[in-house]
Amino acid sequence: MLPLTIWVTLAFAAAAAAVPSRDGAHKLRERVVPPRGWTKRAPAPADHTIELRIALPQNDFPSLERHLYEVSDPYHERYGQHLSKEEVEALVAPHGESVHRVNEWLASHGLVEDALDRSPAKDWVMVKVPVSLAEEMLKTEYHVWTHDASGDAVIRTTSYSLPEWLDGHVELVQPTTAFSRMHALRTTFRFDSTSSAAPKLASDAPPISVPSASGGHVDASCNKTITITCIQQLYNAVGFAPSAKNGNQIGITGYLEQFANEADLQTFFAEQRPDAVGSSFKTVLVNGGVNNQTLDEAGAEANLDTQFAYGLTFPTPATFWSTGGSPPFKPDVLTPDNSNEPYLDWLAFVHKQKHIPQTISTSYADDEQTVPPSFAKRVCNEFAQLGARGVSLMFSSGDGGVGDGEEDPALQECFTNDGRNATRFVPLFPPSCPFVTGVGGTIHVPETAVFFSGGGFSDLFPRPAYQEAAVTKFLDTLAPGTYAGLFNPHGRAIPDVAAQADLFRIFLSGRAVSIGGTSAAAPTFAGIVSLLNSARLSAGRPPLGFLNPLVYALRGTPAFNDIATGNNPGCGTPGFNATKGWDPVTGVGTPNFGKLKEVVLGDLVL
Ligand SMILES: *[C@@H]1O[C@H](CO)[C@@H](O)[C@H](O)[C@H]1NC(C)=O
Ligand SMILES: *[C@@H]1O[C@H](CO)[C@@H](O)[C@H](O)[C@H]1NC(C)=O
Ligand SMILES: *[C@@H]1O[C@H](CO)[C@@H](O)[C@H](O)[C@H]1NC(C)=O
Ligand SMILES: *[C@@H]1O[C@H](CO)[C@@H](O)[C@H](O)[C@H]1NC(C)=O
């Protein structure tokens, strides 16, 4: 992005010039190779409605980023002095000239203010148009594309153009080139054969000695079945009682038509958190999200996330966002297209809120290489806005180790999506965004890295300063030439942290099931973070906000349990090793709530 001074110069120059020709030459903005597994079908129906989302450049994102790092750096004097909604909006507001030119462009196609919907900062404009008009505006042709495996259909194009005089005034337009498919992160999902009988959660075996755990040991049963009690013991959180009334809240995002079932939650509470029976959470529907409480329609992902996050943080007020936008459009129906860009729908919704839960967990992601770079960068910057406002964002790091999790080599996607088909590891987005906290996975007690824990290096985002020392140290331990060409050694590295990720006992459609995936790790880690935020708020301190600078400042201290065994195979390789110090399997390790609490309350310098 250009520095501010140059923007001002350009703006004056433009204002002095004649009104630019409305048509003029178009310039190609983006051309993508559609990800494997999509097939081009018929031209899109001309009268089918799509909602174009036009992103205007955020005028002063570099300042927002500077504020974010200052208020998130535990050694900075501004630590914890988060920005207000209005302060963030002022920093990301587009330049007036951009608003003006985009208005001109839209008006030249008959689209005036009444037809437009704008974000609070005016950095997004949304407008519903027929495909025929979108094609004219973007000098492109839309087609119906189907996803081979699921049969889902979307209306997309592989390239689009904009008038040259919008250069520097429009960052991106979607839906155009984004074919990515977000998926729930969950590897294993099996019904527990013992579920109809009384649950055997206790074990006669002597407890397992874990020096960092509450009381120095963990129930023997936790090596086979993870419950709320196991997490509290293992992460040294037994006995901490968060407040229901200090303003602290926790939020879970749900996508892909998933909702959390309240009856299942009560069954879960009755078994694992009896004092929480009768308590519930608030479901907020975003853009056509669903909340069908029919018992056998609940989502495994939604139930897992809510049962563990809320089970760990009761009585903290809890929110579940059910965001629509999927399954995508059916080509035979002439209703407005679901954008199928659910992160944007959710972000647009929460950016408008005055109060946002301080801790938010998301267990959905896409293969980074399937997300158009312009789109990934903008969405990542939008996550930074939440961090600047004091929100901690946790994302599962992925369930395919260094690969995509596909066991059948013929179906593996360990290839670049740039037409070259070069072999490449597969980092996931959003965890590859440097402004969120990526959560990898462990298994068993004592803990070891779980084989599916997603980890690696972004091909899109350069390495942020906060992890430079930790990651360089790891890279120096690799034998020269290790996996050369398979990953970007200069990229943002994931994950940042880890938590238990398998053998979780939850309730689904009235039955106990055992479930795993980094899907389980993210809400578990988020639960611990929410307890820390509760301690902070009760002590009259601000919430933790963007966590990573603090996380890396505490690496190698007792605040985290360093995981140094296990590895994360994928793409036909054994993947990386969990090692002493940060590693691309378990990050800096799993949390020790007791130690972290002393640190964040300022009572312990590590
Ligand atoms: C935990 O389970 C794993 C896998 O079954 C086993 O190898 C390990 O010995 C067990 N740990 C303890 C302390 O029993
Ligand atoms: C929920 O789903 C069931 C089964 O698909 C359906 O019969 C019912 O009408 C749905 N209820 C609502 C409120 O959408
Ligand atoms: C890449 O792989 C796809 C699908 O397997 C194939 O259709 C295409 O021809 C390959 N491209 C190159 C350049 O090898
Ligand atoms: C992982 O550790 C094993 C055993 O020490 C070693 O042989 C292997 O080279 C290591 N792998 C990587 C990628 O460093």
Nearest ligand to residue 36 Cα: 3
In this prediction, residue 19 carries a pLDDT of 46
Please enumerate in sequence order all residues whose Cβ is within 8 A of that of 158, keeping only pairs 6 or more positions apart, or say none: 31, 32, 33, 34, 177
Confidence of residue 601 (pLDDT cuts 50, 70, 90): very high
d(CA 494, CA 587): 7
Tens digit of each residue's pLDDT (9 = 90 or more) over 123-162: 999 999 999 999 999 999 999 988 887 777 888 999 999 9
208 CA: nearest ligand 1 atom = 13
d(CA 152, CA 146): 6
In the predicted structure, residue 197 carries a pLDDT above the cut 50: no
d(CA 352, CA 287): 14
More confident residue, 36 or 284: 284
Tens digit of each residue's pLDDT (9 = 90 or more) over 10-69: 333 344 344 455 567 999 999 988 888 889 999 999 988 888 999 999 999 999 999 999
In this prediction, residue 413 carries a pLDDT of 76
In the predicted structure, residue 409 carries a pLDDT above the cut 80: no
Structure tokens at 564: 């140094």
Structure tokens at 453: 């824990």
Cα angle for residues 399, 403, 408 (degrees, 5° grid): 95
Confidence of residue 369 (pLDDT cuts 50, 70, 90): confident
In this prediction, residue 258 carries a pLDDT of 75
Q: Which amino acid is at 17?
A: A
Please enumerate in sequence order all residues whose Cβ is within 8 A of that of 427, keeping only pairs 6 or more positions apart, or say none: 368, 398, 454, 456, 457, 458, 459, 487, 491, 494
What are the respective helix, strand and coil percentages of the chain, to the nearest 5?
30, 20, 45
d(CA 327, CA 449): 33
In this prediction, residue 577 carries a pLDDT of 98
Please enumerate in sequence order all residues whose Cβ is within 8 A of that of 32, keeping only pairs 6 or more positions apart, or say none: 158, 159, 177, 179, 372
d(CA 50, CA 310): 37
36 CA: nearest ligand 3 atom = 4
Reported pTM:
0.92
Cα angle for residues 416, 419, 423 (degrees, 5° grid): 30
How many CB atoms lie under 10 A from the CB of residue 17?
9
- Catalytic: 271? no
The Cα-based distances of 526 to 83, 188, 376, 544, 603 in angstroms read: 22, 21, 23, 12, 22
Mean pLDDT of 455-479: 98
Catalytic: which of 301, 366, 413, 562? Answer: 301
In the predicted structure, residue 326 carries a pLDDT above the cut 90: no
In this prediction, residue 12 carries a pLDDT of 36
Confidence of residue 200 (pLDDT cuts 50, 70, 90): low
Phi, psi of 91 (to 5 degrees): -75, -30
Q: Does residue 563 contact residue 589 with C-beta atoms inside 8 Å?
A: yes
In this prediction, residue 256 carries a pLDDT of 72
Q: Is the peptide bond before 372 cis (omega within 30 degrees of 0)?
A: no
In the predicted structure, residue 116 carries a pLDDT above the cut 50: yes
Per-range mean pLDDT, top range of 61-70, 501-510, 597-606: 61-70
Catalytic: which of 123, 257, 305, 404? Answer: 305
577 CA: nearest ligand 4 atom = 1
Domain ranges of the chain: 16-58+93-174, 186-198+208-600
In this prediction, residue 253 carries a pLDDT of 92
In this prediction, residue 22 carries a pLDDT of 55
Mean pLDDT of 241-247: 97
3-state secondary structure at position 519: helix
- Catalytic: 305? yes
In this prediction, residue 215 carries a pLDDT of 96
In the predicted structure, residue 2 carries a pLDDT above the cut 50: no
CATH fold for domain 186-198+208-600: Rossmann fold (3.40.50)
3-state secondary structure at position 165: helix
Q: Is the CB of 223 under 6 A from ligand 1?
A: yes
d(CA 283, CA 91): 31
More confident residue, 200 or 522: 522
In the predicted structure, residue 323 carries a pLDDT above the cut 90: no
pLDDT > 70: what percent of the chain? 87
Phi, psi of 58 (to 5 degrees): -80, 120
Confidence of residue 325 (pLDDT cuts 50, 70, 90): low
Residue closest to 357 by CA, chosen among 394, 331, 381, 390: 390
The protein residue with its alpha carbon nearest to ligand 1, atom 3, reads: 444
H or E element in which residue 494 lies: strand 491-494
